[in-house]
Homo-oligomer: A and B are copies of this chain.
Amino acid sequence: MGEAGGAEDRIVTAAVLVIGDEILSGRTPDRNIAHIAAHLDRMGIRLMEARVVPDNQAEIVASLNALRDRYTYLFTTGGIGPTHDDITADAVAAAFGVDISENEKALGRLRQRHAEADLTPGRRRMARIPHGASLIDNPVSQAPGFQLGNVFVMAGVPAIMAAMLDALSPRLKGGKVLKIVNITSDIREGDAAEPLAAVQAAHGDVSIGSYPFFRQGGFGTVIVCRSTSLKDAAAAADAVVAAFKGMGARADIGPAPETD
């Protein structure tokens, strides 16, 4: 995962900016935030914030600049297609104060897929890249994403976004990976609150999350202990299990069900 060495000592952060009227109107449910979140988590990169904004240049520019200044990396999805409502590349150029024009290398990618006669002005729009950016491969439909500074610009279609994220990941420096120990219990979350608060107070280096679940077979709570030290996470988890069992509940360390 990118550079070797040093990963144990550094905190690497990120934000996601989802661009598209269709998400905010409810037409299309976003699936990219969850995918990017899980991917970054595996690389030890901490996703600190996600935003969804409409296809409006001023809004995109404002969020781009706020988020790229604040976090190690910013990943955007959406708005790099061929039609008039795809304005992300221009917004990125405006945010960085650089020019944008047709990029020969990007046009070459499009020519891998389209005959010259099919290179409509719309398709050629997808070769417009801000100056100074490097391309991100798109193994699904060729039209590339791009990286400018710490901003990675990807397509909105989930299958293409996922392929671009895989393609760009070698450029990222990973950070401290959070180790996770899950506990699944039949305890009700309201009964778990006090023992959990006590364990959290005694294990300050572990982040302890509590997520209730409701299933046809019953209800219960998943406890997630996260720490850069597996030993610390496991110690907190053992304390949780002991506390819950002391209350007469079941509590098992291991893979946990998805919660609502």
Residues of A that sit less than 8 Å from B by CB: 21-31, 33-41, 46-55, 59, 81-85, 114, 118, 120-123, 125-126, 157-159, 178, 189-194, 196-197, 200, 207-212, 214, 224, 226, 258-260
Residue on B with the closest CB to A31? B29
Q: Which residues of B contact A24 (CB under 8 A)?
A: 37, 46-50
In the bound complex, what is the Cα–Cα distance between A209 and B125 (angstroms)? 16
Partner of A122, one of B31, B126, B192, B226: B192
Partner of A41, one of B26, B47, B50, B55: B26
Judge whether A22 and B52 touch: CB under 8 Å.
Answer: no
> Closest Cβ of chain B: how far from A31's Cβ, in Å?
8
Contacts known (A190-B118, A193-B120); A81 close to B26, Cβ less than 8 A: no
Residue on B with the closest CB to A196? B83
Judge whether A114 and B190 touch: CB under 8 Å.
Answer: yes
